[in-house]
Amino acid sequence: MQTNPWRRVEELDDVDRERVANIIQSRIGRYRNRTTADEWDSLSADDIDLYRPLKVEGQLYPLVFYCENKDCRKVHTATEPGYLPSDGQCRACGESITQLPFVNVCPCGRLEDPGPDTGCGAHGFDDIRLNKRASEPAMWRYECGECGDTIDVLSSSCGVCNDMKGPLPTASSRIFYSEKAVEVDIPYLSDEADDIPNDKAWAHVLMAAHLGIADLESDTLESLATTEGKLDKYQKWVDKLGEEQAKEMFDDMDQNIHGRETLVADTKHITPPDTTEDVDEGTRALAYSNIAHQLFTFQRSTKGYEGDLEALEDTRHPIPKSLNQFLNDPEFRERHPQSGRYRPQLTESHIRQAWIVDQFPLLNILYGYTRADSQSNNADLRSFPHPRERATTPIFADRTPSEAIIFEIDRTAIINWLQANGVISADERPDTSDEAALKEWFLNNIATTELDNPFSPIEDDVTRWVYRLLIRL
């Protein structure tokens, strides 16, 4: 069997295409891509279409059959199932025919059926028989029924890379590897979601929220980011009228002093290592996109939505419950007596806080496939046929709500460990008694773009050490 191109699909229009293109782009280096580099190397958000598959259909493959009668072994091939004997009987002797369940695959993605590629020099494809007396399918031969000449074997060759593997049984896992990624995908909750600013400004708004500078009592992250903010003008009026009067005036005019520009200004001094001047523009853009995505995910998966809870209905927004909430519930403590040990155990592992998150939204992304070799650096990434036959690259995606447990590692413990291992000196330590200074230090010292590709070494020193520590936890 072979699946047909996925024509029954629906377009996904509420997914951040920029982000999906970034994710795919960050993985391209894993593949050999000897024959497919052109398509992937320059992939941007405009080059992809996102679809959710609705129905998958299959068809008979490979279309190579042979007669079960040992004395006949006539080969029947066709380009479409309808051209095979419809009664399933050999055209020469009338006995049953059976499928030759092998294929040949190449690391460039080419797939060939096991049928004869050439006919007999004298008799063409008129009467081909399968000689399967050898035990290994690789040794089986096609012979001409008229003159007995050997014509071909089951394996094929690839004109491009000369590296075809086969014949492989059709059940072999080497025939098809799906290439996919999983991403957290929390939707923005706002009528102005389209006005969320570029990743750099958005990242700074989220940094401000992360550090506790942003006021989330009366505003949401989305509203802070989409409101310009009037702090400069406000300050001018404070100087003229005094704080109380100025505030009243701005309130009367319904002008929000809090907003994007204020928060960007408040966090301007924070410069993650991969956003500095000497970094190329693409990496810088990716760094801001990563930071925004990670901070938004952390904020909403630990603190939940700041706005009106009614807005959460029918959304795929995460609903976190902190471990403390459970531990402070006498009923929970009684039902789970062992829960008394949770807190000391977590503290011992330097875990500061934990959340159980309901409705944690994941987006599964299927962007292509490889063949013949399970090591992606030996294979070419191929894209799927486009369901609407456009020139863009189709990406298939599906959402699954999931449950998650989120741990917040004690930042001070990481700093202590970095110092104990000589990665940072005593002078380079942030003030660990100041929560905001600690958080700022991590924003300023972790190169998120270096964590995107697990196959390339992490060059930034601190990032590498922190990563090593965290994967060992």
Binding site for Zn ion (CB under 5 A): 67, 69, 72, 74, 90, 92-93, 106, 108, 110, 120, 122-123, 144, 146-147, 158, 160-161
CA 371 and chain centroid, separation:
20
Q: Which is nearer to Zn ion, 88 or 242 (CB)?
A: 88
- CA-wise closest residue to 416 among 343, 342, 469: 469
Is the four-CA dihedral 261, 266, 272, 275 of positive or negative sign? positive
End-to-end CA separation in angstroms for the chain: 44
CB of 62 to Zn ion, least distance (A): 18
CB of 106 to Zn ion, least distance (A): 3
CA–CA dist 314, 304 (Å, integer): 15
SS3 300: helix
Q: Which is nearer to Zn ion, 88 or 401 (CB)?
A: 88
CB of 113 to Zn ion, least distance (A): 15
CB of 101 to Zn ion, least distance (A): 18
CB of 385 to Zn ion, least distance (A): 18
Find out whether 31 and 381 touch, Cβ atoms under 8 Å: yes
CA–CA dist 469, 473 (Å, integer): 7
SS3 306: coil
SS3 456: coil
E strand segments, 277-350: 319-322
CB of 69 to Zn ion, least distance (A): 5
Q: Which is nearer to Zn ion, 92 or 346 (CB)?
A: 92
Q: Which is nearer to Zn ion, 162 or 425 (CB)?
A: 162
Q: Which is nearer to Zn ion, 289 or 370 (CB)?
A: 370
Q: Tell me which amino acid residue 183 is.
A: E
Q: Check residue 410 and give left, alpha or beta (phi > 0: left; psi -120 to 50: alpha).
A: beta
Phi, psi angles (nearest 5°) of residue 135 = -80, -30
Q: Which is nearer to Zn ion, 49 or 380 (CB)?
A: 380
CB of 129 to Zn ion, least distance (A): 9
Sorted by sequence, the CB contacts under 8 Å of residue 304 that are 6+ apart come out as 317, 318, 319, 320
Q: Which is nearer to Zn ion, 123 or 343 (CB)?
A: 123
The two structure tokens encoding residue 29: 């280096």
Q: Which is nearer to Zn ion, 111 or 406 (CB)?
A: 111
Q: Which is nearer to Zn ion, 118 or 276 (CB)?
A: 118
CB of 177 to Zn ion, least distance (A): 15
CA 177 and chain centroid, separation:
15
Beta strand 111-112 pairing with 165-169: unpaired
Q: What interhelical angle do 281-302 and 199-210 show, nearest 10?
A: 40
CB of 74 to Zn ion, least distance (A): 5
